[in-house]
Structures are given as C-alpha cells and as structure tokens.
Amino acid sequence: MSKLMIRGGHKIEGELRVGGAKNSVLPILAATVLNGKVNIVHDIPKLSDVEVMIKILKAVGCGVKREGNTMIVDSSKLNNHKIPEELVREMRSSIVFLGAMLARCGETIMSYPGGCEIGPRPIDLHLKSLREMGAVIEEKHGFLICKSKGLKACEIQLDFPSVGATENIMLAAVFAQGTTTIRNAAREPEITDLQNFINAMGGKVSGAGSATIQIEGVKELHDVEHTIIPDRIVAGTYLIAAAMTKGEIILKNVIPEHIQSTIYKLKESGCRILYTQDSIKLVAPEKLHAIESTKTLPYPGFPTDMQSQIMALMTMSEGISIITENIFENRYKHAYELVRMGANIKIDGRVAIIKGVPKLTGATVAANDLRGGAALILAGLAAEGATIIENAKHIERGYDHIEEVLKIVGAEIYKL
C-alpha cells in the first residue's frame, strides 16, 4: 500500500505543463478496437487506470506499444471478445468497452465494473441504450453477456446526461446503419475529444459539446493519429495548490474554457487569474474568502471531480462555505480526513458546511478515492508539520507522478 509524506508550509510557485486528460484517454483507448488498424495516440499520462486499459487491450488481442507519452495500438489482431473480470473490477471506465466491442465483434462478455467507492453509479442507462440499438444483454452471476446481429441506428433520450452512457452509445453506433441521435447527451469536453478521435479515423459524429449528438453509421474506419486534450481536473488541482499555499503558478497546455466554473470559484475566493488561449496564471491572495455556495452539476456546471479540492481550499478561508454534491451521494469521505487535520466541516446528507480555520495541522490520513486523495495532498501542502497519506494508490489512478510534479514547483513531498 503506497503512502505519501508531505511537509507543509512551502509556497507552490513556478510553471507546469498539464498532460492529457484521464477522462479522455480511457474512452479513446477503448475506441482503438473499432478500426482494426493502427492507432497512434499522443499525450497519454502514466496512470494506473491507463495501465488497466493497456492490459484489457492486450487481453483481447491488440498489440500495444508505449513510447514515452505516445501509445501505438494495433487492433488488427483482436481475437477475444471476453474482457478479464479482474481488470474490469479494478476500474469503472472499463464499461466503455461494452459499446466498442459490440460494434467491432458483435458480442462481448464482461463483469460489472469497479472503481472508486463514491456512491452508486448504475449502468442501467448504458444497458437500456444498447438494448434500444438491438443488443441482447443477459445479466448472469455478475456478468454481462452481450450479443448483436448488427446494431441499429435509433433515437435515444437519456434520463440523465451520463458521460459513460453517451460514450458507449457513440462507440456502439459507429457502424450502425442509419443515423443514431442521442438527446440529453453529456456535454463534457472529453465527449468532444472522443468525437474528434472517431472522426479522425473516418467516423461521422457531430454535435458533441451540445445536448444532441448524431452518429451516422459508416462501413469501415482507417488508421488514426490523435493528441489527447489537457486534463482540466489536474489543472484545477494545481491551481488550488498555489491558492492554498499563497503561491503563484503558471499552467501551460490548458484550455481555460474547459475550467471556467473552477476559475470562477477561485476568483470568488480572492485569487487573481489571468489566461491566454492555452495558459493560466494564478496569484493567490493573502487571505482566502469563503465561497458562499458551490453545487456540483454536469458540465458546464461545477464538476463533481473538483468538489473535494474546492472543499480543501475552503477549510482555510475566512467565513462559511456551503457545498452541495448533486452527482454522487457518497463523495464526502475526504471531509472526515480533513477534520483530522483541524478542518471544521459538518456533513448533512448531500450538503457540506465548511467554516474556515486559521490553519491546518499535519496528520496521518487515508485517501478513500482518487479526488479525495488529491484534496488531502492540497491540505498537506498548506498544513503545519508533516502529513502522511495512506492508500495513495487511489491518487495514481488520475495524477501522473503528482509527487514529482509538485516538487518542481516547491513542494516537499515524498513517496514512502
């Protein structure tokens, strides 16, 4: 079980480059099975979740080669439609293989997906949508046995703008005869990145970034080369690191439009932020102000993946901040760990009330999920004394060697 140790009190100052987005990489790697040809994908971060995707691709017969941050996937020799149970249970995002494998093979077998324990994340929208397209899906002993004699284009109305369901439908519909329409589709930037990847290999997808996406079926796809968009959650995390330590940071390779909701909250807390087309500069205030109300919502609302980090920021603000978690009902485990460090947080169902304190104190805490772990790192950077974070393996799912990156900008952080 990996641990991190942080000695707080150092300002985060300097310049960092933000790498490719985890939430883009995973569905795009699943999409590489579609073309049966060579896929070259650039700016892939080194994450444990990416390693799981590589193992799945190899398990179904793909050739995978990594050269630095570039990955070459040759899916021409795909020869297995069963995805290993132990890999699926490691990571929830593996569910996107459902649509991709159905489109490519006409059948697949996989178990229910795992991942961080942040509350129920049912896949009923995924299954309902694929059934509407003509897939026959049986659920037996924790496995999904999926078959199709050719998926059919149709109109799908999502009850909720689920990112995973939107991605699965997009992948499944690539070869479906006719035009598939997704209404109330997820609008996240990562959906647009997946659209661009599919189109670069010869697919016909339009509308990503809006609530209506259309996929016109094609007969075949070709080789593709693509660069992943920057990770907006990693960018937001590093901005908060500078804000909490009264520092100053410049982030390169970012798309400010993708993190407007986070920028808005940081400005509300008193930070000064300047940005160009692909960079952001944050100058922290001497005293952080409370953020009156933060509500997590589907994009372009405030992302649930930034909720724990903004909570860490608010523990040291002047005044009372209120956070409402509308996406996942069990995403406040980090709050109890922050309290160990001296934070004043009360949880009432989906609402967290944070009363700012003058200082946090280092303690031994545990990361229970990916973003909660990031929040504990942020608190450790600003706290007095040493903080030890147990279960740091969760953090490796979404941050590429975060301890090495933070050292570049002045943090005293070590892997134990």
Q: Which residues are catalytic?
A: 116
122 annotated binding-site participant:
yes
Give the SS3 label for residue 383.
Answer: coil
CA distances from 240 to 269, 314, 384 (A): 10, 10, 17
- Cα-based distances in Å from 402 to 16, 244, 283: 11, 17, 21
Q: Decide if 101 contacts 82 (C-beta within 8 A).
A: no
Task: Give, as one character, the DSSP assignment of residue 223.
Answer: -
Is 413 annotated to bind a ligand? Reply is no
Extract the tokens encoding 92: 């929830």
Q: Find where tokens 């690539």 sit.
A: 174
388 labeled binding residue: no
* Residue 221 labelled as part of a binding site: no
What span, in angstroms and rounded, lies between the C-alpha atoms of 239 and 250?
A: 9
Three-state secondary structure string covering 297-321: CCCCCECHHHHHHHHHHHCCCECEE
Q: Is 121 annotated as a binding residue?
A: yes
Annotated binding residue 87: no
Which residues, 6 or more positions from 96, have their beta carbon under 8 angstroms from its beta carbon? Answer: 26, 27, 30, 164, 167, 168, 171
305 is in an annotated binding site: yes
H or E segment at 136?
Answer: strand 136-140
Residue 223 assigned as binding residue: no
Q: Are strands 272-275 and 279-283 parallel, antiparallel or unpaired?
A: antiparallel
> Measuring CA to CA, which residue among 209, 205, 186 is closest to residue 197?
205
Binding-site members for phosphoenolpyruvate are: 22-23
Binding-site members for UDP-N-acetyl-alpha-D-glucosamine are: 92, 121-125, 305, 327
Binding-site members are: 22-23, 92, 121-125, 305, 327
